[in-house]
Every structure is written in structure tokens, then in C-alpha cells.
Amino acid sequence: MELSDSDLDLVSVLADGLPLVDRPYRAVGQAVGLSEDAVIARIKAMSAVGIIRRFGVIVRHHELGFRANAMAVWDIPDPLVGELGRRLGDSPEVTLCYRRPRRLPDWPFNLFCMVHGRDRDAVEAAIRGLAERHGLASHGHAVLFSTRRFKQTGARYGRRPLAAE
């Protein structure tokens, strides 16, 4: 797929995230000189061919009142990690779940899941509930609470000044 100047402008604007307005695609279109429908069509087209590979949301948990978060890490036998990961990922209290390779001998954990809560006690209770419901009590694990917040951003593909700038 050949990218037009308009497509490059669109990708540059999208890198900053969608605006928090009722019609975000309309607002993006106004910034790049496209209609709302054209923005949606171009995003779909670029997604279909892999130019845009991920279109996600960054939720500002802290601002929503979720003051505690922890990564629960588990040492799951390799034949079970896929199924347990899917089950954990489908749990409503889990906001992120993924598999990573172990880094032996110091780091035996291969399944990670993020849990957010209004306070530390709520997060700990949620993780205990996950362990009970999914039969994880016999597997080694650790709970790693965040101590600092870092700004999350979307993917950056380089900046290109818009014609109007």
C-alpha cells in the first residue's frame, strides 16, 4: 500500500492518541483535512495491510480512582501456561495478561497478570481470588506492587509536520 501525504499526516496525529471528545475521528479528520468517514476508512485500510498493527487504549487508572496496582507473576508448567493464561486473561479483575520466558536461575516466572484496585487490600484480595478460582495455589508466584507511575504513550513512528503547521 502506498501512503499518501494525507495518510502520513493521519498516522502522525494518531500517534498522539485520540482526543477525548464525542466524535474523536471527526476531530482527527479536522486536524488532517479529512472527513470522519474518510479517517475511519483509512484506519481500516492501513490496519488491514499491517501499516497500523495495533490500535489500543491507554486507561489512566489512577485518575479513575484505582490507586493500587500489582503484577502477579506465576511459575506455571509450560504445558499449562497457555490455558491458564487464557483463563486469567478472561477474568474481569485482570487488565493485562501475558507470557514471558523464564530467566533462570533468578526469575522462574512465566505468566504475568496486572490487577488494578482502589487500594492495596482490594488488589491482594483479587489476586487471592484468582489463585483460588484457577487452581494456582500450588504454583510459585510473587505479587509486585507498583511504587511509581510512568507516563504511558502509544507507539511513535516519527513525527511529520502537518502542512498547516
- Distance in angstroms (rounded) separating the CA atoms of residues 12 and 68: 33
**If we measure between CA atoms, which residue out of 145, 89, 149, 94 comes closest to residue 121?**
145
Question: pLDDT (tens digit, 9 = 90+) per residue, 83-136?
Answer: 999 999 999 999 899 999 999 999 999 999 999 999 999 999 999 999 999 999
Residue 136: how many CA atoms within 13 Å on its side-chain side?
Answer: 26
| 97-120 as b/e: b if 16+ CB within 10 A | beeeeeeeeeebbbbbbbbbbeee
Using one digit for the tens of pLDDT, what is the confidence trace for 6-50?
999 999 888 878 888 899 999 999 999 999 999 999 999 999 998
- Alpha carbon of residue 119 to chain centroid: 21
